[in-house]
Structure formats: structure tokens, C-alpha cells
Amino acid sequence: MMKKIMWLFAMIPLLVTSVVLQFLPDVIPMHHDIAGNTDRWGNKAESFIFPIIIVAITLFWQLLIRVYEKKAVTSKVEKEQMEAKSSAKFLCIVGICQVVMFGVMDYFILYSTYIQAREGSTQTSIDFAKISCALLGITLIILGNYMTRTKKNAVVGVRIVWSMYNDNTWRKSNRFGAVCIMIAGLLTVITTAFANGAISTVLLLIYILAATIITVVYAKKVYDMELLKKNM
């Protein structure tokens, strides 16, 4: 079901682009500099490039998910089956989030292009970096929520030597990491509402770096505690 939802969201940008292009001139703004000034113009048919990329990304996720779905069926070990099912489900969530995020970005791009074409402006009226940060912040919150439910695997989650030591270190490290990721996402959404795209991007990177470092430190602490209990 989730794979069908992913394909649905992947095809919508193609449909929307096909409709919007009927109302655009043949030559439209295709790229902007940091200040938002248009520095390249191109044929409106180029607007299909991004939607096609979205479809290609969706295909990649579908193939990767298929690998783990097949492993969940063919594996003879119940634990491996559960891990494969968990990985497949989480990858579905990641894929849907990415496709939706890129789709929303495409709608903003089309809207900005339409406004520019109508007004004859040489500058975009939308701060795309700001929009991207807000969408990434929301995505981090969603993925963090699902990260708490993943079984130990080699694909998704906090996958470092300390967290992978056993099921307990995995569970504790990933729950803590999930909270850190969600906090980073929430902070990103809040600060993006008050800052421009450039500042929002820097803050986003700082939040993610801080969440990563704190999670690694915590995973090492949990690992040390596990070793201490084992040696007692």
C-alpha cells in the first residue's frame, strides 16, 4: 500500500507540470543566484526535468524496498525476517517523505515561474532555501518518529559499532537519536519561520551536527554500560 502511495505522489508533479506549462511562455526562468536573480533562462519543456528526477528517485526506492521485502520472505531466521520487514517499512516512509518534499518544491518552483512570467520579473519572489529548510525540518520530525520502531539492521537508524553491539544498545541509541532528530527538525521549522534561507540552512546543519554528536556520545555511554554489566 505504501509503495502505491509513493508512486501516486511521484506522478502528481508530472501531471501538475503538464497543466501549468499550458499557461507559461515558451522561455521561462530556469535558475537563480543566491540573491534570487534569474541567471539562466530556458525552454519551458525543461520544467519536466525535476518531475522526471522524482520518478527516477521513486524507482530507486522501490527497487531497494523490494530487496528487503524479498529477504523477509526468503530468510529462514525469524529475527532476520523481522529486521528485513522493519527496514522495508522504514524505507517506504523515507521514500514517501522525500517524494512529497521534492513534489512540494516543484509546486513552489512552478508557482514562482508563473508569477515571474506574468509580471515579467527577473527575480524570484520565493526564498527556495527557506522552503527547503522548512520541508527538511518537517521530514526530520516524521522520520524521527518512525526511527524509534526500527529493528536492528544495516540500512537505517543509528548504525555505529556501539549501537550495533546488541539489541539493547540498538534500542536505546535509536530511541535517543530519534528524539534528537525530532528536536533538530522542530528547531529547524521554528527558526526557519523567522530567518532567511541562508541563515536557516546554516542553522539546519548546526542542528543536525549537534544531534549527531550528542547521539554518538550517548551510544558510547550505553555501550560502556552494557560492557560493565557483562563483566560483573
Residue 166 CB coordination number (10 Å): 13
The answer to whether the beta carbons of residues 90 and 65 sit under 8 Å apart is no
d(CA 178, CA 141): 9
Among the candidates 126, 154, 176, a domain finishes at 126
Looking at the structure, do residues 108 and 3 belong to the same domain, yes or no? yes
- Dihedral Cα 153, 155, 159, 163, nearest 10 deg: -10
Q: What are the b/e assignments for 15-53, b being 16+ CB within 10 Å?
A: eebeebbeebeeebbbebeeebebeeeeebeebeebbee
Looking at the structure, do residues 121 and 132 belong to the same domain, yes or no? no
Looking at the structure, do residues 232 and 211 belong to the same domain, yes or no? yes
Tell me the pLDDT of the chain (232 aa) as tens digits.
788 899 999 999 999 999 988 888 888 887 777 777 777 788 888 889 999 999 999 999 999 888 888 888 887 777 778 878 888 888 888 899 999 999 999 999 888 888 887 777 777 778 888 999 999 999 999 988 888 777 776 677 888 889 888 888 888 999 999 999 999 999 999 999 998 888 999 999 999 999 999 999 999 999 999 888 877 6
Report helix, strand or coil for 165: coil
Looking at the structure, do residues 95 and 112 belong to the same domain, yes or no? yes
What confidence score (pLDDT) does residue 232 get? 67
| Grid cell at residue 11 | 506522478
Name the phi and psi angles at 153, rounded to 5: -155, 175
Domain that holds residue 51: 1-126
Looking at the structure, do residues 57 and 166 belong to the same domain, yes or no? no
Looking at the structure, do residues 75 and 107 belong to the same domain, yes or no? yes
The answer to whether the beta carbons of residues 81 and 75 sit under 8 Å apart is yes
Looking at the structure, do residues 32 and 81 belong to the same domain, yes or no? yes
Looking at the structure, do residues 176 and 99 belong to the same domain, yes or no? no
Type of residue at 124: T
Looking at the structure, do residues 162 and 101 belong to the same domain, yes or no? no
> Taking phi first (over 0 means left), then psi (-120 to 50 degrees means alpha), and beta for anything else, what does residue 157 get?
left
What confidence score (pLDDT) does residue 154 get? 67
Looking at the structure, do residues 140 and 215 belong to the same domain, yes or no? yes
Report helix, strand or coil for 164: coil
Among the candidates 97, 126, 155, a domain finishes at 126
| Grid cell at residue 198 | 541562508
The CA distances from residue 15 to 2, 4, 45, 46, in Å, are: 20, 17, 13, 15
Looking at the structure, do residues 100 and 155 belong to the same domain, yes or no? no
Looking at the structure, do residues 13 and 100 belong to the same domain, yes or no? yes
Among the candidates 108, 126, 144, a domain finishes at 126
The strand ranges marked E within the chain are: 27-32, 38-43
Domain count, the chain: 2
| Grid cell at residue 102 | 521534492
The answer to whether the beta carbons of residues 32 and 41 sit under 8 Å apart is no
Q: What are the b/e assignments for 126-148, b being 16+ CB within 10 Å?
A: bbebbbbbbbbbbbbbbbbebbe
